[in-house]
């Protein structure tokens, strides 16, 4: 939520900042801004600040009219929390002299009391943001330090930031430039991501790797509480206690950090089409080739030590949004396939009402970005409350599932499953949902094999089904892309849609509804089909389409009966089901091959994604950057 970028080196900063922000725009697009510091031949430098409401393109235009010069600068793309999405609330925020600028991602929880304190000392605020307290606090601190005769320098700026940070409560990543020091900038983070990229004689710091990937492959992720002074000569890194820290940078590998739309109109469309490849990669990485040799490898290869699987009596999964929907499918598999009682929690609810502690519990945090504040905080809380109990049976056992191994989640949990779907830019998660599902199939199969909860033949059949998935997905994506594009006009005036599913496909109904809501702004609800008659059926009439997922298996007949009930209320019925006489009742069929019911969510989700995509695109909406949303939700 909000992206920040900072650069210092030998090149003009503004073009690098704008390119970095372009890569971070998925984190928020309510406004954007940048500040640069230009060195002047005599004395201090000159700070220029440009800000614009709305998308980055508006800032780009402003920059074309009023170029901001200098080799040092900071930039920001905003998702509004405190203060409306207006230019006066856009970052950077300045101190009273207009020569010190700050960008921030996070929330300063005690901003009200700090603001009152600053106002009492005569500070005038120009925005409604929580961030604006920071430049004023740093400015006052600099004034105090300089009153003892100290000259302006990067070290002085660093010292002032270090003195102010303990006053800030909450989570943040921030960057500061000062007109007096054109050759220095300071960055800091606490519970919000920040990475430093090391170029040749230049450094770029950003909230996420896509902003760095085009600049350098050598990165230094900052740890919680760290503060760094960046100059063209190097990085001076300090921990939260002020101690100097030396750490070896790491390398970004692969192309997964580069966001490229290729020939698609939207990232979401491209990412839906990438799913056969996501599945093929997952199969290649995790399903060893079939072998009859004695002692042949186990069914699934997961990079987890045996102790993660040993003695687990129950599993709890913490996640938000689409990641939670994938977790619901995961819970179904872990219970029905591996026989392990499993609960899924909204991470934001778990934080404030966790269930009583149970022994031998594996806690799984699922977040594609690895940065969702609620999921991270819920995991930290679980670790802390278990740490208070002496009995080792209650010790925290944490596992993370993410698409961003280098994220905060990656640093928080001892064990990690990287879904390896490659960078996802569209705010609506698609290929990462599939990657999360596949990861849960792998995990459930691994548990089931170890516990012999299903026969080897049954498990092997599922593995064979997974091997067939990439080819099935390829056909399905192509076919439904065409069908859904043709259907989209039917939803031109639709205001409500109901999605029905049961059993393992109930979470897919939830996911279908979420996809439609977030990109097309059509009200949609996902329901367990059998629950309709307990209330929601009252909503149905000829203006409310019902999308019903009916896959052969345990609840096939039941779902068809529930669909009949909707049809009897004049609802237009769209079926996600195999072709055949049983499914002739649907007004429109989005056909899906009849696979093993346990594997069906991997296929039924495709028409859900494409239907939402084409409805939103047909309505001319901004599919990749829907209103009010951001790709990673790094605030509570």
Interface residues with ligand AGP (CB under 6 A) are 320-323, 367-369, 372, 375, 427-429, 518, 632-633
Of the candidates 59, 16, 62, which has an alpha carbon nearest to the alpha carbon of residue 211? Answer: 16
Phi-psi region of 2 (alpha: psi -120 to 50; beta: other; left: phi over 0): left
Sequence-distant (≥ 6) Cβ neighbours of residue 441 within 8 angstroms: 333, 462, 466, 599, 602
Q: How many CB atoms lie within 10 A of CB 120?
A: 8
**Identity of the residue, 532 or 633, whose beta carbon is nearer to ligand AGP in the bound complex:** 633
**Identity of the residue, 203 or 267, whose beta carbon is nearer to ligand AGP in the bound complex:** 267
Instruction: Name the residue whose CB lies closest to ligand AGP.
Output: 321
**Identity of the residue, 179 or 426, whose beta carbon is nearer to ligand AGP in the bound complex:** 426
3-state class (DSSP) for residue 184: coil
Task: Please give the Cα distance from 624 to 631 (Å, whole number).
Answer: 10
CB of 480 to ligand AGP, least distance (A): 18
Within 40-132, residue ranges assigned H as helices are 56-65, 111-120
3-state class (DSSP) for residue 16: helix
CB of 421 to ligand AGP, least distance (A): 11
How many alpha carbons fall within 13 Å on the CB side of residue 38? 11
**Identity of the residue, 63 or 345, whose beta carbon is nearer to ligand AGP in the bound complex:** 345
Active-site residue flag, 631: yes
**Identity of the residue, 539 or 629, whose beta carbon is nearer to ligand AGP in the bound complex:** 629
Sequence-distant (≥ 6) Cβ neighbours of residue 310 within 8 angstroms: none
Which pair of structure tokens corresponds to residue 375?
């999921």
- How many residues does the structure list for the chain? 636
Candidates 2, 49, 141, 205; catalytic one: 2
Which pair of structure tokens corresponds to residue 46?
């000159």
CB of 371 to ligand AGP, least distance (A): 6
3-state class (DSSP) for residue 102: strand
**Identity of the residue, 363 or 583, whose beta carbon is nearer to ligand AGP in the bound complex:** 363
The DSSP 8-state label assigned to residue 191 in this structure reads: B
Active-site residue flag, 270: no
Q: How far is CA 92 from the centre of its chain?
A: 24
Q: How many CB atoms lie within 10 A of CB 291?
A: 9
Candidates 270, 431, 517, 631; catalytic one: 631
CB of 484 to ligand AGP, least distance (A): 17
CB of 634 to ligand AGP, least distance (A): 9
**Identity of the residue, 31 or 375, whose beta carbon is nearer to ligand AGP in the bound complex:** 375
Beta strands 523-528; 496-501: pairing state:
parallel
**Identity of the residue, 346 or 450, whose beta carbon is nearer to ligand AGP in the bound complex:** 346
CB of 96 to ligand AGP, least distance (A): 37
Within 25-169, residue ranges assigned H as helices are 56-65, 111-120, 133-147, 154-164
CB of 551 to ligand AGP, least distance (A): 23
Sign of the torsion formed by the C-alpha atoms of 612, 617, 622 and 623: positive
Q: How far is CA 142 from the centre of its chain?
A: 37
- Is residue 68 within 8 A of residue 33, CB to CB? The reply is no
CB of 367 to ligand AGP, least distance (A): 3
- Which residues are the active-site residues? 2, 631
């Amino acid at each position: 939520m909000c992206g920040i970028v900072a650069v210092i080196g030998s090149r003009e900063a503004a073009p690098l900042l704008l390119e970095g922000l372009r890569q971070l725009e998925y984190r928020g697009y309510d406004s954007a801004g940048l500040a640069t510091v230009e060195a002047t031949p005599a004395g201090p430098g000159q700070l220029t600040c440009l800000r614009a409401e709305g998308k980055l393109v508006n800032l780009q235009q402003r920059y074309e009219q009023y170029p901001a010069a200098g080799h040092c600068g900071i930039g920001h793309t905003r998702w509004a929390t405190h203060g409306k999405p207006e230019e006066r609330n856009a970052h950077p925020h300045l101190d009273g002299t207009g020569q010190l600028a700050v960008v921030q991602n996070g929330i300063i929880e005690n901003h009200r009391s700090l603001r009152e304190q600053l106002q009492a000392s005569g500070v005038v605020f120009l925005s409604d943001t929580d961030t604006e307290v920071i430049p004023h606090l740093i400015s006052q601190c600099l004034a105090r330090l300089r009153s003892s005769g100290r000259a302006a320098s990067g070290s002085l700026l660093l010292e002032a930031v270090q003195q102010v940070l303990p006053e800030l409560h909450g989570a943040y990543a921030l960057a500061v430039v000062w007109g007096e020091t054109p050759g220095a900038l300071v960055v800091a983070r606490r519970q919000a991501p920040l990475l430093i990229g090391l170029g040749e004689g230049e450094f770029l710091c950003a909230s996420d790797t896509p902003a760095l990937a085009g600049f350098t492959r050598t990165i230094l992720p900052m740890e919680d509480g760290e503060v760094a002074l960046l100059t063209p000569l190097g990085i001076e890194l300090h921990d939260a206690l002020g101690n100097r820290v030396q750490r070896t940078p790491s390398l970004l590998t692969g192309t997964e950090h580069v966001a490229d739309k290729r020939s698609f109109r939207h990232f979401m469309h491209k990412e839906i089409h990438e799913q056969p490849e996501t599945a093929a990669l997952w199969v290649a990485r995790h399903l060893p080739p079939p072998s009859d040799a004695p002692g042949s490898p186990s069914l699934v290869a997961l990079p987890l030590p045996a102790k993660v699987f040993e003695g687990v009596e129950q599993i709890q999964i913490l996640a938000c949004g689409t990641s939670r929907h994938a977790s619901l499918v995961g819970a179904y598999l872990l219970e029905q396939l591996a026989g392990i009682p499993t609960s899924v929690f909204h991470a934001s609810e778990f934080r404030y009402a966790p269930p009583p502690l149970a022994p031998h519990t594996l806690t799984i945090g699922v977040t594609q970005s690895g940065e969702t504040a609620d999921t991270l905080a819920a995991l930290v809380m679980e670790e802390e409350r278990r740490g208070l109990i002496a009995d080792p049976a209650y010790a925290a056992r944490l596992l993370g599932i993410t698409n961003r191994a280098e994220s905060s989640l990656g640093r928080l949990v001892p064990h990690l499953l990287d879904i390896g779907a490659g960078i996802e830019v569209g705010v609506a998660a698609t290929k990462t949902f599939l990657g999360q599902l596949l990861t849960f199939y792998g995990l459930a199969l691994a548990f089931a094999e170890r516990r012999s909860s299903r026969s080897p033949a049954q498990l092997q059949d599922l593995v064979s089904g997974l091997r067939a998935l990439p080819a099935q997905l390829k056909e399905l994506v192509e076919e439904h892309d065409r069908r859904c594009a043709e259907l989209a006009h039917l939803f031109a005036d639709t205001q409500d849609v109901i999605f029905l599913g049961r059993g393992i496909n109930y979470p897919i109904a939830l996911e279908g509804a979420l996809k439609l809501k977030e990109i097309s702004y059509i009200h949609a609800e996902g329901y367990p089909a059998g629950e309709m008659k307990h209330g929601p059926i009252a909503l149905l009439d000829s203006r409310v389409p019902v999308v019903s997922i009916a896959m052969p298996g345990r609840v096939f007949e039941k779902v068809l009966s529930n669909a009949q009930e909707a049809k009897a209320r004049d609802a237009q019925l769209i079926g996600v089901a195999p072709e055949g006489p049983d499914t002739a009742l649907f007004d429109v069929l989005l056909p899906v091959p009849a696979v093993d019911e346990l594997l069906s969510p991997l296929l039924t989700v495709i028409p859900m994604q494409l239907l939402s995509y084409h409805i939103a695109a047909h309505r001319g909406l901004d599919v990749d950057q829907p209103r009010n949303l951001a790709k990673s939700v790094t605030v509570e």
